[in-house]
Structure 1
Amino acid sequence: MTTDTMITEVVLPGVVEPDGLRLHRRPMPAPRRGQALVQIDATGISFAEQQMRHDLYPGQPRFPFVPGYDLVGTVRSVGPDTDDSLIGTRVAAVTKTGAWASHAVVDVDDLTPVPPDLDPAAAETVVVNGVTAWQMLSAADLRAGQTILVHGANGGVGTVLVQLGRHLGLRVIGTAAARHHAALRDLGAEPLDYRDPATPARIRELSPDGVDAVFDPVGGPGVRTSYGLLAPGGRLVVYGNAAALGSARSVVWVFAKLLTRLYAWNALPNGHRAGFYNFWAGRLIRPAAFRRRLRTDLGIVLDLLRQGVIVPQIAARYPLTEVSAALVFAEARSRAGKVVLEP
C-alpha cells in the first residue's frame, strides 16, 4: 500500500508515561453513509487526555485507544448518499477520542465549518476550549462591570475565559503561577499567584463585595474557598476535576464527593449557585439539539477568533510523530495556552 492509503494514529496502550505512547499505521478507513473522512490539520492536547493517561477521565474507553478530543481538518471524501459538496472544505469537530491521528472518520452532523482564512492551529485552540468558555459565561448570566475569578487562567480554557470576559465588559481576576502573570496582564486579567496562601485575602481586597462568578477547573478542597469568595447571588462553576490526579481515592469517589458538595450548597439560603459544567450534557437525551447548540456556539467562537476578539494562545506546535515530547511539554505547564499537534 502507498502512503496515501494508510492512516497514522497515536495509541494509548494503558497507564503509561508519555514515552509509552505508540504510533500505529493501518489502512485508511472508508466513511459510511452520513460520514466524512477528514484529513486532520490540527488537533490538541487538553487536560482530558492527561487524565486519560492516568485512567482518571470519567467515561473514557478501555485501553488501548486513540486519544484526541477535537480536531480541525479538511474533508477528503464522504460516504455513499452523503453531500459531496463537503469535500475540500475545512471543518472542526469534537470527537472526545480518536483525533490524535492523520485522518478520522466523523459523522457529518458533528462537523462545523471553519473560515478558510483561519490558521488550523489557531482554530484548534477554540474548538472545545472556546465552546466551553462561551457556554459557561453564557449560563452564568453576567453583566458588564461585574467581576469574575478564573482559576488556571493560563490554561487552554482559562485564556479564552479571560478574553471573552474582557470582551463582555467583565473585570477578570485570574490565578496562575507567577511566570504566566505578564501574559495574563496582556490579555486584560489581574493575575494572582495560586500558590500564595494570601491570595484569597487579596481577592477580597480587590473585590470587597465578592466576585460574581468563579470558574474552577480543579475541584477538590479549593472549591470551598472559591465558594466563600462569591458575592450575593454569585455562581461557582466547576468544569474539571484536576484534583483527582493528586488523590489516592478513585476518580469516581472524588467526583461524587465534589458533586455532592456542590448540590448541597445549592440548598443553602444565601442565593449562591454552584454546579458542574458538563460539555456533553444532553448528548444522549437530545442529540440533535446538542449538535445544533454545539455548531452554533462553535460558529460564534470561530467568528470571534476571525475578528481578533480572541487571540489564539498556542503554547507550542509539534508534529504528530513527536506526541510524547508534546505531552511532556503540555504537562509541564511552562507556557500559557494549548499545545497543538499538526499531523
Structure 2
Amino acid sequence: MLTEVVLPGPVEPEGLRLRTRPLPEPGPGQALVAVEASGVSFAEQQMRRGKYYDQPPFPFVPGYDLVGMVAATGAGVDPALRGRRFAVLTKTGGWASHALVDAGDLVEVPDGVDAGEAETVVVNGITAWQMLHRVARARPGMTVLVHGANGGVGSTLVQLARHTGIKVIGTASPRHHEAVRALGATPVDYRDPDLPARVRTLAPGGVDAVFDHVGGEGIVDSFRLLARGGTLVSYGTAATRDVPGSSRAPVLKLLARLMLWNVLPNGRRAHFFNLWAGRRRLTAYQARVREDLGQVLALLASGDLTAHVAARLPLAEAAEGMRLAESSTVTGKVVLVTGHGTGPAGNRATEGAAR
C-alpha cells in the first residue's frame, strides 16, 4: 500500500490528512520510487495557505522533492535502475511512501550519502547552484549578499559561494548568527532598520549579487545595494506569505518591478529565478538538472558541502514538521522520513534547532 499526506485546502498544519491507497504501477517512461526522505520547504508553507503561484487545485499531496530507491520501472525504462537511490524534483507528490516519477527526472545519489542529508540539497541545492552559477555568473573575488543565510536555500548558497572563493554577507536573526559565521559568511541582522548602511560598511562599493527570497518592498533596498554590473536574483515573495488575497498578485508586481529596472540605464541586472523555466524543452531541462544537481551531490559526497538537517520526523508527523519549519527556530531543512532504506529513518531528533 501507498501512504501519503494530503493537503485538503487552506488549513493549519493539523489539517493535513494521512491516507492509504493501492500502489500504482509505473507506466511507459516512469519509475516507482520508494521514498526515503522528502523535505518541508517554503513552497509547502505557501501552498497550505493557497499562496503558491501555480499550485494545483486542492486536495493534493505536497512534497517539492524526494530521495528514494527505484522499486519498479515501466516500459522503456532500464530495469537496472531498480534498487538504486535517486533524487527527484517533483513540485508536488513527495510526501508519500512511494511516488511515480518520470524516469528522466531521476538524478543518482552517490554511494555512501545518507538519504536525509541528500534530501536537504535537492531543491535547495539545484536552486542555489543555478542562481549562483547560471544567473549571477559566480567567480572568485566577488562579494554577495544572501538573505536568509540560515535557511535551506540560503545555507546551501553560502557554502557554494564560499567554495567558489566568494565573500558572503548573510542576513539572519541574531540567534542564527553563530551558525551563519560557521558557514563562512559575515552575519547581519535582517531586522536592523539600518541594514543597507550595515551592508554598505562591509561592501562600500556595493555587492556583486544579492539573492533575495523575501520580495515585498525590501526588494528595492536589495537592488540599490548592487555595485555597477551587479545582479539581483529574486526567487520568492516570503514577505507576502501571510498577506490575504491573490497568490499571483505579489509575483506579478515583483516581475513588473524587475522588468522596469532592467530597461532603465542603471548598469545592473534584475532576474527572477524560476526553477521550472525551460521544462517545455523537457530533455534539455532534465539534462541540465542532472548536470547541476549532480555537481551539488558530488560536493556533498566529498565533504565540500555540509548538509544541514534541522530535524527528521516520520511522514505521519508532517504537521509537526510544517510547524517546525515555520517556526524560524531552526537552521537548515526539516526532513520527513518513511523508514525505507538504510539511513537513520525515524529519528525524531531535532538536529539543527535553536536550543
- With the length of structure 1 as denominator, give the TM-score of the two structures: 0.97
Counterparts of 1:140 and 1:85, CA distance in 2 = 38
Give the CA deviation at 1:81.
Answer: 4.0
**Structure 2 counterpart of 1:257:** 253
Q: Do structure 1's residue 274 and structure 2's residue 270 form an aligned pair?
A: yes
Counterparts of 1:82 and 1:167, CA distance in 2 = 36
Counterparts of 2:24 and 2:246, CA distance in 1 = 36
Give the 5 Å matches for 1:202-217. 202-217=198-213
Q: Which runs of 5+ in 1 are unaligned?
A: 1-5
**Structure 1 counterpart of 2:64:** 69
Q: Do structure 1's residue 192 and structure 2's residue 154 form an aligned pair?
A: no
Give the 5 Å matches for 1:1-343. 6-138=1-133, 139-284=135-280, 286-343=281-338
Secondary structure in 2 aligned to 1:142?
coil
Give the CA deviation at 1:293.
Answer: 0.2
Give the CA deviation at 1:25.
Answer: 0.4
Counterparts of 1:232 and 1:82, CA distance in 2 = 49
Counterparts of 1:135 and 1:253, CA distance in 2 = 25
Amino acid at match of 2:2: I
Counterparts of 2:50 and 2:245, CA distance in 1 = 13
Give the CA deviation at 1:244.
Answer: 2.2
**CA RMSD between the two structures:** 0.9
**Structure 2 counterpart of 1:3:** none
Superposed CA deviations along residues 3-37 of structure 1, whole A, max 9, x for unmatched, are xxx00000000000000000000001111121111
Counterparts of 1:63 and 1:166, CA distance in 2 = 41
Superposed CA deviations along residues 270-292 of structure 1, whole A, max 9, x for unmatched, are 210001000001102x1111010
Secondary structure in 2 aligned to 1:251?
coil
Secondary structure in 1 aligned to 2:335?
strand
Amino acid at match of 2:20: R
Give the CA deviation at 1:327.
Answer: 0.6
Superposed CA deviations along residues 51-106 of structure 1, whole A, max 9, x for unmatched, are 00000111111000000000000011111342110110001110110000000011
Counterparts of 2:10 and 2:94, CA distance in 1 = 19
Secondary structure in 2 aligned to 1:310?
coil
Identity %: 59
Give the CA deviation at 1:249.
Answer: 4.0
Secondary structure in 2 aligned to 1:332?
coil
Amino acid at match of 2:141: G
Amino acid at match of 1:156: G
Secondary structure in 1 aligned to 2:326?
helix
Amino acid at match of 1:125: T
Amino acid at match of 2:112: D
Amino acid at match of 2:315: L
Give the CA deviation at 1:200.
Answer: 1.2
Aligned residues: 337
Counterparts of 2:119 and 2:191, CA distance in 1 = 30
Counterparts of 1:31 and 1:95, CA distance in 2 = 16
Counterparts of 2:159 and 2:219, CA distance in 1 = 23
Counterparts of 2:299 and 2:119, CA distance in 1 = 14
Segments of 4+ moved more than 6 angstroms: none
After superposing the two structures, state which structure 1 stretch, 67-76 or 251-260, moved more: 251-260
Counterparts of 1:167 and 1:237, CA distance in 2 = 19
